Amino acid sequence: MENIKLDTSVQYVKGVGPKMYELLNKLGIYTIRDLIEYYPRTYEDRTKLKNVREFNKDENVLFIGTLIKPVTISYARKKKIVSTVVIDEEGNRAFLTWFNQIYIKDRLKEGNSYLFYGKVSFASPTRANVDSCSIYELSQLDKVQGLYPIYSLTAGITQNYLFKLVTSIIIDKGILLEDIFSNDFRRKYGLAEINYAVNNIHFPKDYNMIQTARNRIIFEELFLFQLALMKMKDIEMNTSKTNVYKDLDCSEFLKVIPFELTNAQKKVVEQIKEDLASEKIMNRLVQGDVGSGKTMVAAIAMYIAVKNGYQAALMAPTTILANQHYLELSKYFEKLNMKVEIITSSTTKKQKEKIVERLKNNDIDILIGTHSIIEDNIEFNNLGLVITDEQHRFGVKQRMKLSAKGNIVDTIVMTATPIPRSLAIILYGDLDLSVIDELPPGRKPVETFVVNDTYNQRVYNFLRKNIDQGRQAYVVCPLVEENEELDLNSVEKLYEEYKKEFSNYSVAILHGKMKNKEKDSIMQDFKDNKINILISTTVIEVGISVPNATVMVIENADRFGLAALHQLRGRVGRGSDASYCILKSNNRSAISRERLDTMRKSNDGFYIAKKDLELRGPGDFFGIRQSGMPEFKLANLLTDTKVLEKTQEAVKDILKNDKNLELEENRKIKETLLLKFGEQLGRIVG
């Protein structure tokens, strides 16, 4: 393998055939760089080389052994092939056993010494048994002794295989990464050189080395993350707008809605008014718990935009949610002689052509829709305000494409995914944050219960009682089809069970594999109370409002994050009737019980989000992948907040002196930023 580069496919590495290449792809390893940056998830302590007489039952040991006999092969029950060797160290013997690994016979030779690592299954003063050891040549002692990396795997790839692959690239071939930071920068922020960090994350000798390496790699990940966020906001932050709004009076709109705004809504409306009246482009995140009234705040912003001569657009993640917004908002706007239209995947070509023509002629004031509204042929006459609902469901690129349909556009993004305020301020940097932290009066908290399968009949009886009173119910589960490997109730299996149990009632099924028209039709029937029980996957998670649905049953509730459970629970309790959420789980682990207990005790989305982060870690809680951001390999947005603050300071410092990253010392930073964040940043830093 000559002329190895970081972007060379890993399939050209010795020991990687077509099958192994496919398996490595499952781990996200495609190139040499991916392999180098595939960091261990934890470590085994192999610092001490033990003698056989020091072995203790159930401990993992690193030891050298000399074979005193050839490998023997025997057959156990169910045709298991058992390979056994006997080693002797100063009169102390150990029997090493492998199951169904026939190659052991050719690998180990009588009289030779090898390095082994494995778990002791039996130990006495004169004899020990060790099962399924890893085998190394004595020459590998320096690489293996120490803190041994443990990687996340997929079926077909072993720790040993991955370790050898990483070793062959970093140690044997000596392939290096180019450091994106200058010596001065590293000194200023106390960072190790990148290849020192890479070596010590994969082959550490002690925990201090791991900490130094992790700190460097985490800093770089969070630095690039912060830099990308700030560059995305750069245009909005530094552009003065021409559409400074003069008329901010919304009293006419408030007269046509049948309720009074909460104090929290009023506060956010005032913040939006200030933005619209300023010379800086508005780029505001409106956070609010399920049912807090974000849509009404957005409607007021659209009303003000139209009064000032601009068009407004509202983009929702699903057809169902877009329709819901349209039906709710159009009845208010029509009373004010404002023209509202909707475009989704269900809109016919002929209808779309008419809407496009009217948009261009300024005959439509407000356009509501799904991602269909960012199609190239959709043109506005004078777009001034863009609102994106459930912002984490759209990529950055999609949001930018919608904003680009106007000359200078104010933006509001809304989300019901609560992020602790202190973390949101760090994450979103200079994007202004509004929080609607109050529910409208009359909204009753949803009573929540945690049960296991022994309660099935009681759950059925409870559903029957509510349906007989004219109410409706959701039943949600994680899978579409049954999977033998996972003991989870699939939506199809549940549908059959519920049809049988509730044969006198209307039961329907809904999942993401259905066509949009079919999904919309079922959801409409549910809203019209033609369906008593809706068996569904999480496609009902975002924003659907059916006030008559009062019971939510969530199967295998332990399989969902708390934020997702809270979103799902928010589908009930939307009317004035008492509502209930039943979380079903047979998982008895302490963490699982604690998580579900959090749901039982609290209806506060912000408290639940905080607990979710504590118990589960950020994962894709923030929708990082959906937002066009890369997933972090090591950084954790919850535990690494101090590093995050430090990187924010570093990014501001660099941009203050080199706004467009044009200096030679920042060349590699710019290249890496584009490499990791792709084309959505191209027009900003390219």
Average pLDDT of every residue of the chain: 85
- Residue 43 pairs in a beta bridge with 149
Q: Does residue 172 carry a pLDDT above 70?
A: yes
**Looking at residue 429, what is its pLDDT?**
56
Least confident range of 385-389, 441-445, 456-460: 441-445
Residue 568 confidence class, pLDDT cut points 50, 70, 90: confident
- Give CA–CA dist 661/528, Å, rounded: 56
- Give CA–CA dist 382/365, Å, rounded: 9
- Residue 554 pairs in a beta bridge with 476, 583
- Give CA–CA dist 52/49, Å, rounded: 10
Least confident range of 13-17, 267-271, 301-305: 13-17
| H or E element that contains 43 | strand 42-46
Least confident range of 434-443, 454-463, 608-617: 608-617
**Looking at residue 620, what is its pLDDT?**
42
Instruction: Over range 215-236, report the average pLDDT.
Output: 82
**Looking at residue 375, what is its pLDDT?**
83
At 571-595, the pLDDT tens digits run 888 877 899 999 999 988 888 888 8
At 1-38, the pLDDT tens digits run 456 788 899 999 988 999 999 999 999 999 999 999 99
Instruction: Over range 432-441, report the average pLDDT.
Output: 80
Contact 69, 85 (CB under 8 A): yes
Least confident range of 35-49, 400-414, 661-675: 400-414
Residue 423 confidence class, pLDDT cut points 50, 70, 90: low
**Looking at residue 611, what is its pLDDT?**
77
**Looking at residue 124, what is its pLDDT?**
76
**Looking at residue 313, what is its pLDDT?**
94
At 489-545, the pLDDT tens digits run 688 889 999 999 999 999 999 887 788 778 878 888 998 999 999 998 877 655 567
Reported as half-sphere exposure (CB side, CA atoms, 13 A), residue 354 has a value of 6
At 92-138, the pLDDT tens digits run 889 999 988 888 999 999 999 999 999 998 877 678 999 889 899 99
Contact 404, 421 (CB under 8 A): no
Q: Does residue 253 carry a pLDDT above 90?
A: yes
3-state secondary structure of 311: strand
DSSP secondary structure, 570-605, as one string: TTS--SSS--EEEEE-----HHHHHHHHHHHH---H
Q: Does residue 393 carry a pLDDT above 60?
A: no
Q: How many residues does the chain have?
A: 686
Helix, strand and coil content of the chain, in percent to the nearest 5, comes to 45, 20, 35
Q: Does residue 480 carry a pLDDT above 70?
A: no
**Looking at residue 496, what is its pLDDT?**
93
Q: Does residue 684 carry a pLDDT above 50?
A: no
pTM summary value: 0.61
- Give CA–CA dist 75/163, Å, rounded: 30
- Give CA–CA dist 195/197, Å, rounded: 5
- Give CA–CA dist 27/385, Å, rounded: 41
Contact 291, 265 (CB under 8 A): no
Least confident range of 211-225, 309-323, 508-522: 508-522
* Alpha-carbon 429 to chain mean position: 20
Domains of the chain in sequence order: 1-44+149-175 (1.10.150), 48-144 (2.40.50.140), 207-238+635-685 (no CATH), 251-436 (3.40.50.300), 447-602 (3.40.50.300)
DSSP secondary structure, 492-543, as one string: HHHHHHHHHHTTTS-EEEE-TTS-HHHHHHHHHHHHTT--SEEEE-GGG-SS
The single-letter DSSP state of residue 96 is E
Contact 523, 510 (CB under 8 A): yes
Task: Give whichever of 315-319, 378-382, 414-418, 430-434 has the largest mean pLDDT.
Answer: 378-382
**Looking at residue 639, what is its pLDDT?**
75
CB neighbour class for 348 (10 Å; exposed up to 12, middle 13-18, buried from 19):
exposed
At 272-295, the pLDDT tens digits run 999 999 888 888 889 887 778 899
Q: Between residues 342 and 524, which one has the greater pLDDT?
A: 342
At 598-635, the pLDDT tens digits run 999 998 887 887 777 666 554 444 433 333 344 688 88
Measured CA angle at 548 (ends 445, 463), to 5 deg: 80
**Looking at residue 629, what is its pLDDT?**
41
Least confident range of 240-244, 265-269, 386-390: 240-244
At 636-665, the pLDDT tens digits run 776 787 898 899 889 989 998 898 889 999
- Residues of the chain with pLDDT > 70, as a percent, come to 87
**Looking at residue 398, what is its pLDDT?**
60
